[in-house]
């Protein structure tokens, strides 16, 4: 996405530390013999690097070429290897059916309209092996009406940013680093419906902003 290319060009490595959930999920993967992992929407590579260090065969996929460039440089400095592809997570990915043992995606799949999110979910299902794992987090936090003109406002850390509604449960910031970037808001019922083929375990992140889900493609 244009927004993330600009963010990576301006700020470089935006995230450095892996999410706590990824650290825990990696241990689950190890215990279950997972080898080949796709990081869908890998950005500048914080989870690609972490999982490569843990010994996984890791693939990064992202639309932001600048982010992938940063990830490759980071890996070289660490003496690690990974595989990368550039493309939209809402289109067919360049991987064979049943290719991965696990797919992870953080802060990515919900950046679209629901019809596009569903395409991404179908692609995750297609490229994942039978019995393979998914770990995904999804935008949760509801937004508050700001004025009668359909602006809304939410606090990002210490910064307050205004938004506009695009479609039901779908909004985009009208300012800030994620200006015009779509966000689809999930609730537990919607996750259970849209990810039903993975029978996910669902819990809320410590920040309260996201749902986490851990699921499995049933044999």
Give every residue of the chain whose pLDDT is below 70, as ranges.
Answer: 1-2, 12, 141-161, 219
H or E segment to which residue 70 belongs: helix 65-78
The per-residue pLDDT for 78 is 97
Beta carbons within 8 Å of 161's beta carbon, 6+ residues apart: 153, 154, 155, 173, 174, 175, 176, 178
The counts of H helices and E strands in the chain are 6, 12
SS3 assignment, position 20: helix
The whole-angstrom separation of Cα 123 and Cα 127 is: 6
The per-residue pLDDT for 141 is 66
The per-residue pLDDT for 207 is 81
User: Reading across the β-sheet that carries 183-184, which strands appear in turn?
Assistant: 144-145, 151-156, 159-167, 170-173, 183-184
Per domain, the residue ranges of the chain are 2-140+185-216, 142-184
Contact 31, 56 (CB under 8 A): no
The CATH code that applies to domain 2-140+185-216 is 3.40.50.150
H or E segment to which residue 6 belongs: helix 2-11
The whole-angstrom separation of Cα 143 and Cα 162 is: 10
Strands 128-139 and 100-105: parallel
Q: Phi, psi at residue 90, to the nearest 5°?
A: -100, 10
SS3 assignment, position 123: helix
Cα→Cα distances 34→73, 101, 156, 200, Å: 26, 5, 35, 18
């Amino acid at each position: 996405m244009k927004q993330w290319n600009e963010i990576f060009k301006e700020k470089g490595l935006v995230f450095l530390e892996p999410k706590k959930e990824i650290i825990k999920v990696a241990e689950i993967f190890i215990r279950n013999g997972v080898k080949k992992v796709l990081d869908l929407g890998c950005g500048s590579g914080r989870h690609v690097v972490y999982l490569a260090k843990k010994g996984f065969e890791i693939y990064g996929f992202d639309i932001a070429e600048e982010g992938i460039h940063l990830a490759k440089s980071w890996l070289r400095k660490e003496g690690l290897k990974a595989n990368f592809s550039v493309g939209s997570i809402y289109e067919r990915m360049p991987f064979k059916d049943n290719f991965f043992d696990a797919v992870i995606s953080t802060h990515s799949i919900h950046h679209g309209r629901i019809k596009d999110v569903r395409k991404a979910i179908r692609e995750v299902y297609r490229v994942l092996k039978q019995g393979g794992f998914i770990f995904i987090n999804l935008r949760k936090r509801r937004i508050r009406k700001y004025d009668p003109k359909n602006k809304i406002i939410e606090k990002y850390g210490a910064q307050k940013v205004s938004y506009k509604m695009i479609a039901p449960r779908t909004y985009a910031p009208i300012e800030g680093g994620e200006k015009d970037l779509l966000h689809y808001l999930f609730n537990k019922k919607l996750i259970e419906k849209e990810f039903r083929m993975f029978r996910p375990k669902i819990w809320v992140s410590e920040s309260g902003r996201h749902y986490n889900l851990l699921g499995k493609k049933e044999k």
